[in-house]
């Protein structure tokens, strides 16, 4: 559902809600996906992001998001300089992503303490975003809810185990989606929650034998 506050907002640093605010939010999501400030990031700009990104501050906005700055943070203007000071090595390149993507799309590969994660995100207009791919899995995440991402071996009962851990923590699920690469392979679970998941629920989910990756990402929009 489209909220009034999506339309009258965000309060943001200009000049473009899709090229600046939306781009910042995709950066923030990538930061959440790697679990904190990345030490490296490869940002591939696709479509209109590639053609007009620099003049719109798309590069500054994504770098700012990776550093944890929100779309209304005036420090976005100097985020590339901040990145250097804060130990984030960020590289921008233009790319033609394969498949059908929104005109304003980026693929971000982030690294932190030896781990890497990759996402594809699109900026849909008015600052709204959609994360469409995480580590090769197709997803649909708006970033308007606290999001729990769980990658696990695809086996019976795994959804019940996660949802009962969330229920035990008192965490309410707003939406959920499970998709997998193939039968018996890995599956990705996306839970959009009303509030950030409790530590106890996260601990229970992390301890599941099938778990490969658990990540709680705060609202970015």
Partner 1 sequence: MYESLVEAVARAESDNISLGELALRLEAEEGVKTRPQIEAALGRALSVMREAVARGSVGDLKSVSGLVGGDAAKLKHPKGPLAGSVFTEVLAAALAVQEVNAAMGVIVAAPTAGGAGVLPAVLLGIGEAKKLGDDVLIRGLAAAGLVGAVVAVRASLSGAEGGCQAETGAAAAMAAAAGIEILDGTPRQSAFAVSLTMQGTLGLICDPLGGLVEVPCVYRNATGAAMALAGIEMALAGIEFPIPSDEVIDTMGEIGRGMDIRYRETAGGGLAATPTGRKLAKDRLVQLKGKKA
Report the residue number, 71 or 197, with the smaller CB distance to partner 1.
71
Q: Which is nearer to partner 1, 101 or 118 (CB)?
A: 101
Q: Which C-beta is closer to partner 1: that of 32 or that of 47?
A: 47
Do 10 and 70 form a contact (C-beta atoms < 8 A)?
no
DSSP string, 110-159: EEETTEEEEEEEEEEETTEEEEEEETTEEEEE-SSS-EEEEEEE--TTHH
Nearest approach in angstroms of CB 71 to partner 1 is: 9
Of 109, 134, 124, 152, the C-alpha closest to 217 is 134
Calpha distance 43→124 (Å, rounded): 18
Closer residue to partner 1 (CB): 3 or 200: 3
Rounded Cα gap, residues 165 and 203, in angstroms: 9
User: Which residues contact partner 1 by CB under 8 A?
Assistant: 1-21, 47-48, 51-52, 54-57, 72, 74, 76-77, 80, 102-104, 124-127
Q: Is 42 helix (H, G, I), strand (E, B) or coil?
A: strand
Q: How far is the CB of 162 from partner 1 (least distance, A)?
A: 23
C-beta of 44 vs 112, nearer to partner 1 = 44
Residues 173 and 196: beta-carbon distance below 8 Å: no
Q: Least distance to partner 1 from the beta carbon of 149, Å?
A: 21
CB of 191 to partner 1, least distance (A): 17
Shortest gap between Cβ of 43 and partner 1 (angstroms)? 15
């Amino acid at each position: 559902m489209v909220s009034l506050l999506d339309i009258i907002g965000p309060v943001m640093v200009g000049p473009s809600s899709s090229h600046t605010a939306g781009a910042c939010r995709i950066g923030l999501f990538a930061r959440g996906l790697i679990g904190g400030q990345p030490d490296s990031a490869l940002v591939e700009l696709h479509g209109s992001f590639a053609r007009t990104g620099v003049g719109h501050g798309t590069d500054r906005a994504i770098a700012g998001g990776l550093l944890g700055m929100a779309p209304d943070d005036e420090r976005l203007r100097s985020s590339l300089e901040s990145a250097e000071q804060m130990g984030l090595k960020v590289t921008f390149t233009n790319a033609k992503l394969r498949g059908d993507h929104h005109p304003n799309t980026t693929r971000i590969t982030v690294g932190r303490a030896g781990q890497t994660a990759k996402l594809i995100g699109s900026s849909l207009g008015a600052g709204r975003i959609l994360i469409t791919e995480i580590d090769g899995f197709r997803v649909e995440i708006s970033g308007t809810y606290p999001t729990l991402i769980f990658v696990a071996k695809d086996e019976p009962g795994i959804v019940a185990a996660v949802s009962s851990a969330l229920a035990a923590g008192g965490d309410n699920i707003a939406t959920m989606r499970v998709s997998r690469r193939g039968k018996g392979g890995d599956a990705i679970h996306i839970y959009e929650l009303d509030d950030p998941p409790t530590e106890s629920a996260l601990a229970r989910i992390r301890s599941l034998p099938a778990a490969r990756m658990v990540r709680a990402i705060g609202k970015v929009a």
